[in-house]
A and B are shown apart, each in its own frame.
Chain A
Amino acid sequence: MLIFILKRIGQMLLIMLIVSVMLFLLLEINVESVAVKVLGQYSTQEQRELWLQRNGYYDPIYERYGRWLWGFVTGDLGESVRFKKPINDFMWDRLWNTAVLGFWAMAFIIPLALVLGILSGMREGSWLDRTISVTSIITTSIPEFASAPLLAAIFVFGLGWLPGTSSMIGGFDWKQLVLPVAVLVIYDFGYVARMTRASMAEVMTTHYIRTAVLKGLPYRSVILKHALRNALIAPFTVIMLQIPWLLSGVIVVEFFFAYKGFGALLLEASLNQDILLIEAASMVAVFVVVATQTLSDIGYTYLNPRIRFT
């Protein structure tokens, strides 16, 4: 088990390393364009060369990569061109804001999806099951960039209950968090619910559930003790994988509601070709994905005795 965890962490670091090479090559192989991006279109050739010279851009690429990687590992992420200050100064705040958004979204998605999925999978084909299934298909068909304007039209324009932007200029405000969280929940819970349903429905048809029923156990005990134990293994993985998925979702939501989060930052960096910021933010995003994958693999192994004890 220990060796398995160490191995997974090793794999994770390897992926991060390869990703960093890819990112570096993608963004910095063309030295000229770096200078253009940093100094702007109207800079002169001389200015660009001087800048490149001063910042060591004429060194061999592996040296530059080594320097950048070392900086990254030691926590020196460099300075953002767009924000004109060290990336460390603001990126982590942005990440925290996104974590808050993501936390509340998950806090609704997980219970809602699990309860609906289990109810639906417990009695496959019943009316309840059909209603839940169709509802979740409909909600997962409304992408975030469509549900955000729709919800805004209803709750901001129509009813006037909620604010239309969530920039939180005047400090943290609950009301400003409602719509962004709602958009994320609507798009995502249906998918998790359907996965849970499939897993539950499959478990309910297994022979060991039949054994449990024919042992004369009460229905509650069949479901709680025998079915859920196995049916929740698959949704656990699915839920863990929703975290990277949310990372995509927050880009749209933060963009639409002007929420000062990590997703909006990444988008802004990309649109403005703020190279060091793109690199830093992408590496953080990739780290989140790989770390959740690793955790989900380890968790899956732990939850599943068939793998744990072999």
Chain B
Amino acid sequence: MALNFDENAPVLEIKDLNLSYWTRAGEIPAVIDFSLTVQKGESIGLVGESGCGKSTVAMAIMQYMGGNGSIKSGSIRFKGVELTELPPDELRTLRGSHISMIYQEPFAALNPSLTLGTQLKEVPMTHEGISDTEAHDRAAQVLADVRLPDPARVMAAYPHQISGGQQQRVVIAMALLSNPSLLLLDEPTTALDVTVEAGITKLIADISRKYGTSQIYISHNLGLILEVCDRVFVMYSGEVVEEGTINSLFTWPRHPYTHGLFGCIPLPTADKNAAPLRPIVGQLPLPHERPHGCNFGPRCKFFEDGRCDAKDVPMEPVAGTTSDHRVRCVRWREIDHSQDVAHGDAKDPMEIGDAVLAVEGMQKYYEVHDRSIKALLAGKSVMYVKANEQLNFDARRGETVAIVGESGCGKSTFAKVLMGLETATDGSIRHDGNDICKIPVRARSPQQIGSLQMVFQNPFDTLNPSHTIGTQIGRVIKKFGVETDKTKIRARVMELLDIVKLPRDFYIRRPRQLSGGQKQRIGIARAFAGNPSMVIADEPVSALDVSVAAAVTELLMEIQREHKTTLLFISHDLSVVRYLSDRIVVMYLGQIMERGTTEAIFAPPYHPYTEALLSAVPIADPEVTKREIVLEGNLPSALNPPQGCPFSTRCPRKVGTVCDDERPPVQMASDTHAIACHIPLEELARVEPVIVVPSEEERAHVAHQ
């Protein structure tokens, strides 16, 4: 079966594509009027929030829409060959050889009961009919290309035996095996830790350079798109609302939605007082409830009655900019975004009061029993996981303290001890004067419990689906003894709903009827029901879309400001942390690597780990320059951490065996800034800043060119 490719045609050409899903409720258009051309070697970014149709486009290119999806109209041509009319067996020769895909969750994408070698080899064996040994050599070669150490071992392993980052490298290798012309990447780094993500992103960028492969890169993260793409398409509710080259679109966004998105992302210069985030109001319309005319209309502040909702809005080229910049807005000529600053008005900084929380030498060890013969013989059947080791820090009234670290760093364990779900092994945690680290939650008084509450991570999990919103918040009020009278409880629930800016009729609603952002608001209301002196927020916005996350973050800040609450903010995202916290604690493998005020953390001297974390955060601003630091290796197992400095196995600035063998000393760079490292402070202070933000004059200079 020879497909007749036209090598002069664009690699991919999509024209006026309309895709629909068929459900019990009827037809739901998923992608509307979509056109896209990919030239050889080009990287296209497809960016948008969840439900905007970006993954559907990728599946349509692959012609894999599932039972209920179908292409209604339009054409998809790959090197001149029309894919929508291709018979199944010809399509098969195309998939995996000419067009390959890289997926969001590498672990789910790999077959758990076949060795990785088998899964890799079958690609060239199917498409090129080569022998097993030949395929084996090829697979080993490509595994080396994606910088996996010891390809032979990887090929003999099953997916669960290697780490998440390695799994994604295997998936990438699998996609590259037949040297495809087009690579589709569907959020390839979303499921990975920040420092691992940085490595994968760099690998993907190198590959497109080395092989000349065209890419379509799907992501919700504008910063990532900026790092890897040449052109970008912004999607909203099934439509492309704006497209253009990276430079043009990031410098002069024309569509109010694109512009709004930038207002929702904390930039490296911004903090909560100087330039608060400016969330987009409202939420994404459901696919079957899309408005007339512009889909973004109801959330747009430039909305004009009778014009914006009159008829479907076509894409229009933007004159006077770099070629190819197009926008779907009837008012793009009139709106002058330069008059409209992306960020909200400045506020006065909060007053910081007395210490509310003091953590001293806190330790939490878990016992793990190893019942293998080897361990029994060696007498090591009981091992300890040091989830938290020697934590020291404090938090004061009205202050926001952030705990930053990747998965497994012990930040969630610390939250559990604080809340009394676990008790500490050693040390003390003083909250409002009492040592609480060994008092389990059921032994605490209602006032104690009520004054220390938590906002949870997962909006789909945080509320009990069986009970109404009113019952759930009311229960908290009653439990903490804030009110006892039924009508007063009800009144207080209403008041809390007002505080989190939700309509009062949510009282009788069930969690199922709420969107993710709304659920998270209820979670915040619940945490503040007992007038807490301190609230722990465990990644409260990481599962939300950018525009919604910004609104929830702002709400949290506002309530904190009003109630002068201490906020302990747990996160892996340094840009959010920089934006909202006063002080930062950086953790790695259960230990504090560095702590200090936000300014101190973000400027040299850095702990080498902080330095790597800073470099790993994608920034959605083309003018900001970053020093590239890619960490090698994996996170060590918590069961068997390095003897000396926990970071010694991956540290790019390792000074010698002292790092492996000895605990690093805690060095005080200032009264409040501590770094646990063997490298002398003077040397660390000489390090160049990781992120360089141009001054206002420099920016103006660039804009005029």
Contacts and interface: CB of A to CB of B under 8 A. Distances in A.
Interface of A: 2-3, 125, 206-208, 210-218, 221, 225-226, 229-230, 233, 303-306, 309-310
Given A230-B112, A305-B112, A214 B158 contact: no
Given A213-B95, A215-B126, A226 B114 contact: yes
B20 to A, nearest CB: 19
Given A207-B105, A217-B92, A303-B113, 5 more contacts: A208-B110, A211-B111, A211-B171, A221-B122, A304-B113
Contacts of B372: 3
Contacts of B97: 216
Contact of A215 (B105, B108, B113, B174): B174
B373 A230 contact: no
Contact of A208 (B112, B160, B373): B112
A253 B500 CA distance: 67
B399 to A, nearest CB: 43
Contacts of A212: 111
B96 interface: yes
A304 B126 CA distance: 26
A215 B96 contact: yes
A221 B103 CA distance: 21
Contacts of B126: 215-218, 221
Interface of B: 62, 64, 67, 92-97, 100-101, 103, 105, 108-114, 122-123, 126-127, 158, 160-161, 171, 174, 371-373
Nearest to B158: A305
A208 B109 contact: yes
A228 to B, nearest CB: 10
A213 B160 contact: no
A8 B371 CA distance: 14
Given A214-B96, A215-B96, A218-B92, A208 B111 contact: yes
Contacts of A2: 373
Given A214-B64, A306-B160, A207 B103 contact: yes
A230 B101 contact: no
A221 B126 CA distance: 10
Nearest to A233: B113
Contacts of A304: 113
Can you list the 10 inter-chain pairs with the closest CB atoms, starting with the nearest? A216-B96, A215-B96, A216-B95, A207-B108, A208-B111, A305-B158, A211-B109, A216-B92, A207-B109, A229-B113
Nearest to B123: A215
A124 to B, nearest CB: 8
B109 A216 contact: no
Which of A221, A225, A305 has the largest count of B CB atoms less than 10 A from its CB?
A305
Contact of A230 (B94, B113, B158, B161): B113
Contacts of B122: 215, 217, 221, 225
Contacts of B92: 216-218
Contacts of B62: 214
Contact of B373 (A3, A206, A216, A218): A3
B93 A216 contact: yes
A225 B126 CA distance: 13
A211 B103 CA distance: 9
B64 A213 contact: yes
A125 B24 CA distance: 14
Contacts of A213: 64, 95
A170 to B, nearest CB: 50
A214 B373 contact: no
Contacts of A303: 113
B106 to A, nearest CB: 9
Nearest to B110: A208
A206 B109 CA distance: 8
A271 to B, nearest CB: 46
B533 to A, nearest CB: 44
A218 to B, nearest CB: 7
B96 A217 contact: yes
Contacts of B373: 2-3
A208 B105 CA distance: 10
Contacts of B111: 208, 211-212, 226, 229-230
A2 B376 CA distance: 14
B66 to A, nearest CB: 9
A218 B88 CA distance: 10
A266 B112 CA distance: 44
Nearest to A308: B158
A309 B114 CA distance: 12
B369 to A, nearest CB: 13
B95 A305 contact: no
Contacts of B160: 305-306, 309-310
B374 to A, nearest CB: 10
B200 to A, nearest CB: 17
Contacts of A3: 371-373
Nearest to B157: A309
Contacts of B174: 211, 215
A207 B112 CA distance: 11
Contacts of B161: 309
A125 B103 contact: no
A133 to B, nearest CB: 17
B158 A125 contact: no
A225 B111 CA distance: 10
24 contacts: A2-B373, A3-B371, A207-B109, A208-B111, A208-B112, A210-B109, A211-B110, A211-B174, A214-B62, A214-B64, A214-B100, A215-B95, A215-B96, A215-B123, A216-B96, A217-B92, A217-B96, A221-B122, A226-B111, A229-B113, A229-B114, A230-B111, A305-B112, A306-B160
Contacts of A306: 112-113, 158, 160
Contacts of B158: 305-306, 309
